[in-house]
Structure formats: structure tokens, C-alpha cells
Structure 1
Amino acid sequence: MQSTHITVIAMFIFVITACTPKMTSQASQPENVEATDKKGNLILLGKSTRQRLAQPPFDTWFNKNYSDYTIDSITAIQIKPLLQNKQFVLFMGTWCGDSRREVPRMYRILDHCGVKPSQVQLVNLSNSDTAYKQSPGHEERGLNIRRVPTLLIYENRQEVGRVVESPVVTLEKDILAIVTKQPYEHRYKHLMAAQPVNKADSTRSQQTNRQ
């Protein structure tokens, strides 16, 4: 009888524990946070969705640059199967002219190649004097993000390469070089390497997938 009581009590404790939600140590960052910059323009900050870029006031440049871009279909055929096991982290600024031009094109290529939305994390950075090129959640920390847009490409949680600000050749050919492990250096590699980065940042850049 005593054994039966112990078993019942143990099962009761298990059920209560299993049904109790676990508290996280830190609340997740909200998406599509809006702010006004020093020029009075609406900007996005932190983790954002591609769908928000297609809505006012960002749609005026996002939708146009997306639809106007002509994909290099021959190169896209080569990279399409190589992107299915990749993860992407895209840092941009809605206030940045290079981001407004290149980010819609990047999405056009990823869409054409069948990359799933779950494979891409979009992070918007600030242009304020006190938090320049930073996100409220500091997703950029340790990743040596000096210019936007920066597209990080990961495989098995390891960064395999990045496109910084604008392509060296074309977006398609730059991505092909990265995912096929050809020699490739983005436009600012030497400049960024010359700038000091602490050891923790360097390690995180190589090992952390910020999905």
C-alpha cells in the first residue's frame, strides 16, 4: 500500500512539473520595433520581418528595387541546391542607401533559389549617435559588423562567408564563390581586419549562428 501511495505522489509531481511553463531568463526581443531618427524619418530597429519592409513607408524602395532586379538565372541555378542547408543573418539599416538598394536584391535572389523564411534572420541597426550600427538586442555584438548591409552565410553554425555593403562582382557570383569555398574577399576585408576586434568577438564571429 505504501509503495502505491509513493507511486501516485511521484506521478502527481511529474504531471505538475511537466505542465508548469518554464520561465526564460530574458524576454525575447519584439519584432519590427519602430523609431524616429534625428532627421524625423521612421526607421526599424532590431529583429524585423521582410513583410514589414514591403509596407509603408519602406515599400517605396523595397518593392521597386525587388521587382526591378534582374536575376542572373545561370548562376542562380548553380547556387540554388547549395543554399538549402544554409542559414542567413542580414544586417541592414532602413536609413542606409546601400541597404535600400542591395537588401531587396538579396531577397529576390533568396526567393528565386527557394530559401525558406525560417533560414533568414533580418536585423535592423540604428543610425543614432549613441548607438550607431547597433541593435537594441545587440545581435551584432561579436560579429564585426562595420558596414551595412552585411549578409552572413552560415553552415552548421559556422560562418562560411559574408557579403558586405555591395558585391565584388554580382550578388549571385559572390554568393556562389562563398558557398563553393572559392577564394573570395568582400570589399572591406582588409580595412575591417586592420580595425581592432577583441578575442571574444573574433571567436563569436566564427562560431555563432545568430538565427
Structure 2
Amino acid sequence: MATQTPQPVNIEVTDKKGNLILLGKSTRERLAQPPFDVWYTKNFEAYTVDSTTANQIKPLLKNKQFLLFMGTWCGDSRREVPRMYKILDYCGVKHSQIQLITLNNSDTAYKQSPGHEERGLNIRRVPTLLIFENQREVGRVVESPITSLEKDIQAIVTGKPYEHRYKDLVNPKPAM
């Protein structure tokens, strides 16, 4: 049986604008360090979790897995990802239940990671939080919430009707 070489974590590169960005599998701990801590810590600390909704979804998240795609170069990711982590923390989601993938902003590899974890998942906007149960996607929050992060996650994990704002980009309607 062939052994796989583990993929590096927290790959740092300089983008076309001269900014340091992360690529591929990354950790939230790295987001809390310079230069990313400027926006990560600010947005994490400034966010107030909707505790009423979070307490309702807390038991429903125990058996879920989360795959979070973001760009450290993206304003929406910089705003929403710290908030997502704060909600998941509040709900007691273990770090092992969350995988963070950071994507490129280069012209030749736009919204791709070195390991191509995004392949086949229709990642068109970031951040995208995919929620899985039993290795099956049950829903996703794309770019920003419809109602609130807590309420959107609640709709997804309780099976209520929920469509993110870019549904037609992810699941295009068939041509007539």
C-alpha cells in the first residue's frame, strides 16, 4: 500500500498585490497571528452570538462536519469567517470537526487550493461553509448569510427550506 505524503499546512505566499496570503489546508490558529490577526481578532471579538438560536442548534452540530473555504485576501471572508468560528465555538463544535481551506486569488489559480480540495464542490464565492452529516452535504452558507449565520445554520441542520443567495451559480438551472 502506497503511503501518502501529508500536505503542508498554512502555506504562505505573496499575492500579485504584494500581500501575504494563506493557501490550502490552514488552521484558525494561523489566522490569529500576524498579519491576519488584524482582521481576524477584531471581527471575532466584535461579533455577538445570537445565543438563543445558538443554544437551539448546539445539540444538532455534534455529529456534523464543516468544510470552510475562504480567501485571506477576501473582504467577505475576513468579516464572516471569524464570526463563523465564534458561533461554532459557542456551540461546542470541536476543532476536529472543522477543516479550513484557503484559496488563491491569482489569475491562473483563482479560488483554487494547491491540493484542489474545492474540486467538484462548486466553490464560486468565498467564504463558503459546507455542512456535512454522514459524509453527505446537507447545506452551505455562501459568502454572507440570508438572515443571520445562526439562523441560516439552524435552517440547514433542521432541514427547513434554505437557499443561499448564489444557488443558481452553484446549481445552474438547465437550459430550456
**Interval containing the TM-score (normalised by the shorter chain):** over 0.9
CA distance in 2, matches of 1:67, 1:159: 29
- Match in the other structure for 1:143: 121
Contact 2:142 2:164 in 1 (8 A): yes
CA distance in 2, matches of 1:77, 1:193: 31
CA distance in 1, matches of 2:7, 2:17: 25
- Match in the other structure for 1:58: 36
Contact 2:146 2:165 in 1 (8 A): yes
Give the drift of 1:145: 0.3
CA distance in 2, matches of 1:23, 1:181: 40
Aligned residue runs from structure 1 range 173-184, under 5 A: 173-184=151-162
Instruction: State which of 113, 136, 143 in structure 2 corresponds to 1:165.
Output: 143
**Greater fraction of residues in helix:** 1
CA distance in 2, matches of 1:46, 1:195: 30
TM-score (norm 1): 0.81
- Match of 2:106, as an amino acid? S
Q: Larger relative CO (CA 8 A, sep 6+): 1 or 2?
A: 2
CA distances 1:7-66 after superposition (whole Å, capped 9, x unpaired): xxxxxxxxxxxxxxx641x32210000000000000000000000000000000000100
User: Unpaired runs of 5+ in structure 2?
Assistant: none
Give the drift of 1:195: 7.7
CA distances 1:118-175 after superposition (whole Å, capped 9, x unpaired): 0000000000000000000000000000000000000000000000000000000000
- Match of 1:56, as an amino acid? P
Instruction: State which of 122, 132, 137 in structure 1 corresponds to 2:110.
Output: 132
Aligned residue runs from structure 1 range 50-199, under 5 A: 50-194=28-172
Distance 1:129 1:177, change over 3 A: same
* Percent of paired sites with the same residue: 77
Contact 2:77 2:127 in 1 (8 A): yes
User: Unpaired runs of 5+ in structure 1?
Assistant: 1-21, 197-211
Which has more radius of gyration?
Answer: 1
Contact 2:123 2:170 in 1 (8 A): no
Point out 4+ residue stretches in structure 1 off by more than 6 angstroms.
none
Instruction: State which of 49, 65, 76 in structure 1 corresponds to 2:27.
Output: 49
Distance 1:119 1:127, change over 3 A: same
- Match of 1:139, as an amino acid? E
User: Would you say how many aligned residue pairs link Structure 1 and Structure 2?
Assistant: 174
CA distances 1:59-108 after superposition (whole Å, capped 9, x unpaired): 00000100000110000010000000000000000000000000000000
